[in-house]
Amino acid sequence: MATLKELRDERLRKLEELKKLGVDPYPAHAERTHNLADIADNFDELEGKQVTVVGRIKSIRKFGKIAFVVIEDWAGERQMFWKSQDDKQPDYANSELGIKQISLLDSGDFIEVTGPVIKTQTGEISVEVEKLRLLSKSLRPLPTKQDGFTNKEERLRRRYVDMNVNKDVLKRFYRRSQFWQATREYLDKNMFTEVNVPVLEHTTGGADANPFVTRMDALDQDFYLRISHELPLKRLLGAGFERVYDIGPRFRNENYSDEHLPEHIAMEWYWAYADWHDGMDFQEGLFKYVLEKTFGTLKFKLGKFEVDLSKKWEQWDYAEVIQKHYGIDVFNCSLDEVKKALADNKLEVEKTENKVRGIDKLWKNLRKDVAGPVWLVNEPTFMSPLAKINPDRPETTQRFLPIAAGSELANGFSELNDPLDQLGRFVEQQKMRDAGDDEAMMLDIDYVEMLEYGMPPACGLGFSERVFWIFEGVSAREGVPFPQLRHEIDEVTKSIYPDLKLDK
């Protein structure tokens, strides 16, 4: 069996032959009148008519003076029926080839075919080749599932190959695009305005997360990559926007897991003059719209969970749930009691453990078995530094968390707009940070200044593409096109380019 290097060398030989014929193997221009799915879907209308299609060669079969070339585009695949045209000379300068040059083509090459739509003698809907142009010569053969292209690490490193071999992976990222397109549609039709806010920040906040740090030479200062969209968007409420959102990347310098990536796409919306009850109703509608648009259903089988988003969503009280399952009063318990509960439930107890982190771990341990959908409400004030206090229960906040399939889908609350209250909570967070909690929020005095100028009452919510991963039923790395991996170069590539000294 030939090695990859030997196969590549043979294709390089063909490339040279093409060039000697005067063929440009990589022309800049291509034509297309129909995608490949159109040919079958509209056969009655197109039969006998001239079309031009493009795609990547999947297979080539030659029998004497005829050949069958199967090509594939984004919409599907279709057979090209090619027969000898002895009286016709290909226009090599236009990158055209005749059937006599079929040996110079390989699976993986991109071609353009012009000709009538026909049915072959076997009844196969095809395009008869009157003109074939080479659009791109591939130098490496694509593997197949039969070749054993199943190694997860290799699939993630060469995702462009993975999507060619495993079409379900390619379709996943069309759905991912639809997920965010539907999100925009719902927000836009509800009069929200998309405003892109900075990725680089002097002070980062809006979440409990460890940030990435970078340097801006022009200002000779360090900046943080944002961990959240929140504080800039709420500054826009202070500036006069009433309904605003942003969709884009955020960065959290934390470990990988099945539900988390250090870089991922997220969305946050903020709505002036609305409160958490408005927000729950709105977000429930948004989730239903987006998931039905993306997956065509609101009923999902996700691992051990049966999730029906169309039914009435329950509301769970945070303190009551913790009390029921662990026997802990979150408002009056000690750190030692929290640590004991963690240990009793075989959860990690860190040296830097504090009450907030410990209670959060207890909740997450409980959450993993919740099918949902439910709204978790009335989270304690000391756990929600940006949420408005519930006037009926001042020890709690107007925070709401949608839970389904053992995961938290989003985070929303009535926004805190009291500058003095906000300053006090920032100070408490900064004390936690100074004591060694790298995920506690930083003191953002500029944000406090904005609140002193005045921000209207508002509701806000954010969710990440983790919602898509959950309902797609994949892990975080499988849920993005190009996950970050430790940089490596394989030995075959090093041997192909020895002069580049890639082993250094």
| Residue range 156-198, pLDDT digits in tens | 999 999 999 999 999 999 999 999 999 999 999 999 999 999 9
Count of beta carbons in the 10 Å neighbourhood of residue 339: 16
Confidence of residue 148 (pLDDT cuts 50, 70, 90): low
Say if residue 460 is in the same domain as residue 376: yes
Question: Does residue 327 share a domain with residue 199?
Answer: yes
CB 206 within 8 A of CB 229: yes
Highest-confidence segment of 141-155, 202-216, 369-383: 369-383
* Domain housing 227: 164-479
**Do 58 and 185 sit in the same domain of this protein?**
no
Please give the structure tokens belonging to residue 384. Answer: 């929600």
Residue 147 has pLDDT above 90, yes or no: no
pLDDT at 346: 87
Residue 353: is its pLDDT beyond 80? no
Pair 269, 243: CB distance under 8 Å: yes
Same domain, 302 and 382: yes
What is the C-alpha to C-alpha distance for residues 253 and 273, in angstroms, rounded to an integer? 34
Q: Please write the tens of the pLDDT for every residue from 10-67.
A: 999 999 999 999 999 999 999 999 999 999 999 999 999 999 999 999 999 999 899 9
Half-sphere exposure of 17 (CA within 13 A, CB side): 14
Instruction: Of 425, 403, 165, give the one whose Cα is nearest residue 305.
Output: 403
Tally of CB atoms within 10 A around 103: 11
Do 335 and 209 share a structural domain?
Answer: yes
Q: Determine the Cα–Cα distance for residues 96 and 86; give it in Å rounded to an integer.
A: 15
Q: Is residue 256 part of a domain?
A: yes
Q: What is the DSSP string of 327-386?
A: ---TTT--HHHHHHHHHHTT----TT--HHHHHHHHHHHHHTT--S-EEEE--BGGG-TT
Q: What is the pLDDT of residue 504?
A: 64
Percentage of the chain exceeding pLDDT 90: 76
Q: What is the mean pLDDT of residues 115-123?
A: 95
| CATH code, domain carrying 205 | 3.30.930.10
The residue that leads in pLDDT, 238 or 491, is 238
**For the segment 232-290, what is each residue's pLDDT rounded down to a tens digit?**
999 999 999 999 999 999 999 988 888 899 999 999 999 999 999 999 999 999 999 99
Q: Please give the tally of structural domains in the chain.
A: 2
Q: What would the pLDDT profile of 390-414 be if each residue is shown by its tens digit?
A: 999 999 999 999 999 999 999 999 9
Given a cut of 90, whether residue 428 has pLDDT beyond it is no
Question: Which range among 119-123, 133-137, 208-212, 445-449 shows the weakest confidence by mean pLDDT?
Answer: 208-212
> Do 117 and 247 sit in the same domain of this protein?
no
What pLDDT shows up at residue 500?
Answer: 86
Instruction: Identify which of 101, 165, 141, 164 has the alpha carbon closest to the alpha carbon of residue 1.
Output: 141
Q: How far apart are CA 304 and CA 295, in angstroms?
A: 19
Model pLDDT, residue 218: 95
Is 502 among the domain residues? no
Place 357 in a pLDDT band, splitting at 50, 70 and 90.
Answer: confident
| The pLDDT value given to residue 274 | 97
Gyration radius of the chain's alpha carbons: 29
Is 414 found in the same domain as 372?
yes
pLDDT of residue 185: 98
Residue 485 lies in a domain: no
Quick one: 50 and 188 in the same domain? no
Contacts of 309 (CB under 8 A, 6+ apart): 287, 288, 291, 298, 299, 300, 373, 404
Whether residue 74 is found in the same domain as residue 178: no
Q: What is the CATH number of the domain that holds 98?
A: 2.40.50.140
> Read out DSSP for 288-318?
HHHHHHHHS-SEEEETTEEEETTSPPEEEEH
Q: 115 and 185, same structural domain?
A: no
Of 118, 136, 154, which residue sits at a domain end? 136
pLDDT for the residue numbered 229: 96
Q: What are all long-range contacts of 84-88, with beta carbons under 8 Å and residues at least 24 apart?
A: 85/130
Scan for tokens 């900046």, then name that residue: 223
The per-residue pLDDT for 181 is 98
| Model pTM score | 0.91
Q: Classify the C-alpha dihedral 24-30-36-40 as positive or negative.
A: negative
Mean pLDDT in residue range 206-212: 84
Local confidence band at 139 (pLDDT 50, 70, 90 cut-offs): very high
pLDDT for 320-352, tens place per residue?
Answer: 999 999 999 999 998 888 899 989 898 888 866
Distance CA 112, CA 411 (A): 49
Regarding whether 460 and 314 lie in a shared domain, the answer is yes
Domain boundary among 88, 117, 136: 136
